[in-house]
Chain A
């Protein structure tokens, strides 16, 4: 089987300041289809840089990055945009939805930049299906500030899924959410992963990372550990546990 992500000796050096910053110092990594990887690390560990590179928002200074077998280092900015468009789905910490734009139109956004262009009714059909996958089909005409944080993040996930990407990239997806909603969002990821979607997620919360199948720990621009998660958390069990705790604390009746 061909890996979704194949990184060989990746370096990223920023030359913007007075002294060059060596953010990523030789990472090699393979992610196979169907994996669910959490990348952890303190700030400055290089995980954001790695994430930007994985997302084709940035290009490596040195080394090889292949996504679905395509070497990204050799691509120009238009080709990178095309990769971001149909191979990668992004989920951000701050949701990054367009304000005053309905959930449906937000989900349609990537399709505006698809090649070849899709007809309008096809765009609508796909966006509705994608919203259905995250359980928000009945919120299609709501604008972001009419939705809760968890719902907004679901819309963002629907947007990420709409063009059927090979890779779902999530950058601190639960950073702005409460515990319960975080678990729900992890549930969405687990469900998608169980259906075969490859998920790579950056987080600094170990509780969140334990929903993944594999944890990679970064420090000083290098990978320090690469472990299989055991025991793994499942959202159904965690939700039940949180509900029991809330009941015990008389938060709910």
Chain B
């Protein structure tokens, strides 16, 4: 241990002797590690944000969208075909095993009026299980019940944004809101959910019983989508298969024909979104890794120069009793010190840069601990790898020739 300190002291002295060169050599590693830390922080931050947004959809959610409809060559867009019915939803709830919650969904942008204020919000017709399905707690009041659904009650639950537009800071509970001219009683206020992946404000909504929405507001007998949540993650696949079979049977789709609906599980969405982010992180990390490698080559280059310059010093050390391995150790220590000190500075600068980006541009950066440990270890490995050859060259010098070297 004492010997190790002595070796480090000697190495530090040698590095201090040519401070400018030492700093420039380290700069390669510093830039490399900064790049790695910065890139991984940005990538990871983006991924975590996407994951959070997807998690906000609810637990183990499976969405069944009505299919495309084309009429005279015009496509209506997903959910536009009148193929999903309330009966499908009821059958699905009754016959598919492993369904925890189910909510049909219809929606439309509708004018809401309260007192002398008005607002155009996305009004969604959903079931009494909708909030459980999306793991979305209420801030105030109550949600509508199964009786409200059956009775097509004129009750509405407002999102935060909608409530603010219609009632400003006052509590909306118990107040009356006219939706498409029909008076509804506000029974609940949703907690804030923020924006979704597309940047839409999820709080700019008003929830009403789907029966009320279909009969009184939109006058339609088909659904935009059915949302289902599986009891646990492992049963998602089973639930998806059952739904698919049930709907094909109910819609009388012959084998070999395409579905007139589309099933998307949350897991698929998550996978897609995060795999994109992962690919980006990997790509950026790889580019940064290359610059780290270039930094390592810089170290090797300088160490080779150093060995040549200090040939006589090596000769003196050998003459006074240094063994080959002492010389080897000394030069290796110098190379590793260069790379790990560079690495540590790089980690510091990288974290500084990523938090500066977070503060300046509001980017969701996150420096994962594996990136810190990994880049520290990698820079140490680079020091050993690129320091080994010069150190070996130093250790293999013949003492007589080294002493005679001018």
In the complex, the chain A residue whose C-beta lies closest to that of B316 is A96
Distance to closest chain B CB from A50 (angstroms): 13
Contact indicator B6/A57 (Cβ below 8 Å):
no
Q: How far is the CA of A119 from the CA of B1 in the complex (A)?
A: 12
Most interface-central of B6, B313, B319, B326 (chain A CB within 10 A)? B319
Q: How far is the CA of A138 from the CA of B369 in the complex (A)?
A: 53
Q: Does B403 contact A (CB under 8 A)?
A: yes
Q: A57-B400, A117-B3 given as contacts; is B321 within 8 A of A98 (CB)?
A: no
Distance to closest chain B CB from A184 (angstroms): 23
Contact indicator B316/A109 (Cβ below 8 Å):
yes
Most interface-central of B6, B320, B323 (chain A CB within 10 A)? B320
- Pick the residue among A86, A90, A101 that contacts B319 (CB under 8 A): A90
Q: How far is the CA of A101 from the CA of B403 in the complex (A)?
A: 18
CB proximity to B under 8 Å, residues A69-114: 77-78, 81-82, 84-86, 90, 92, 96-98, 100-101, 109-110, 112-114
Q: Does B399 contact A (CB under 8 A)?
A: yes
Q: Does B71 contact A (CB under 8 A)?
A: no
Q: Does A55 contact B (CB under 8 A)?
A: yes
Q: A52-B400, A113-B326 given as contacts; is B319 within 8 A of A96 (CB)?
A: yes
Q: Does A154 contact B (CB under 8 A)?
A: no
In the complex, the chain A residue whose C-beta lies closest to that of B320 is A110
- Cβ–Cβ < 8 Å partners of A57 in chain B: 318-319, 399-400, 403
Contact indicator A113/B323 (Cβ below 8 Å):
yes
Contact indicator B320/A84 (Cβ below 8 Å):
yes
Contact indicator B316/A114 (Cβ below 8 Å):
no
Distance to closest chain A CB from B27 (angstroms): 24
Using C-beta atoms within 8 Å of the partner chain, give the interface range for chain B: 20 to 34
Distance to closest chain B CB from A218 (angstroms): 18
In the complex, the chain A residue whose C-beta lies closest to that of B330 is A112
Q: Does A159 contact B (CB under 8 A)?
A: yes
Q: How far is the CA of A235 from the CA of B6 in the complex (A)?
A: 40
- Cβ–Cβ < 8 Å partners of A58 in chain B: 400
Contact indicator A159/B320 (Cβ below 8 Å):
yes
Contact indicator A113/B313 (Cβ below 8 Å):
no
Q: Does B139 contact A (CB under 8 A)?
A: no
Q: How far is the CA of A100 from the CA of B318 in the complex (A)?
A: 19
- Cβ–Cβ < 8 Å partners of B8 in chain A: none
Q: A57-B399, A98-B313 given as contacts; is B323 within 8 A of A90 (CB)?
A: no
CB proximity to A under 8 Å, residues B295-321: 312-313, 315-321
Q: How far is the CA of A120 from the CA of B1 in the complex (A)?
A: 13
- Cβ–Cβ < 8 Å partners of B326 in chain A: 81, 113
Distance to closest chain B CB from A88 (angstroms): 9
- Pick the residue among B320, B399, B400, B403 that contacts A113 (CB under 8 A): B320
19 new A-B contacts, CB < 8 A, other than A113-B321, A163-B321, are A57-B399, A57-B400, A77-B324, A81-B321, A81-B323, A81-B324, A82-B323, A84-B321, A85-B321, A90-B319, A96-B316, A96-B403, A109-B320, A110-B320, A110-B321, A112-B322, A113-B320, A114-B321, A159-B320
Instruction: Report the 9 A-B pairs with minimum CB-CB distance, sorted nearest first.
Output: A85-B321, A110-B320, A81-B323, A113-B321, A84-B321, A113-B322, A57-B399, A78-B323, A96-B316
Which A residues contact B (CB, under 8 angstroms)? 52, 55, 57-58, 77-78, 81-82, 84-86, 90, 92, 96-98, 100-101, 109-110, 112-114, 117, 119-120, 159, 163
| Cross-chain pairs A/B with CB under 8 angstroms, 7 sampled | A55-B319, A81-B322, A81-B326, A84-B320, A119-B2, A120-B2, A120-B6
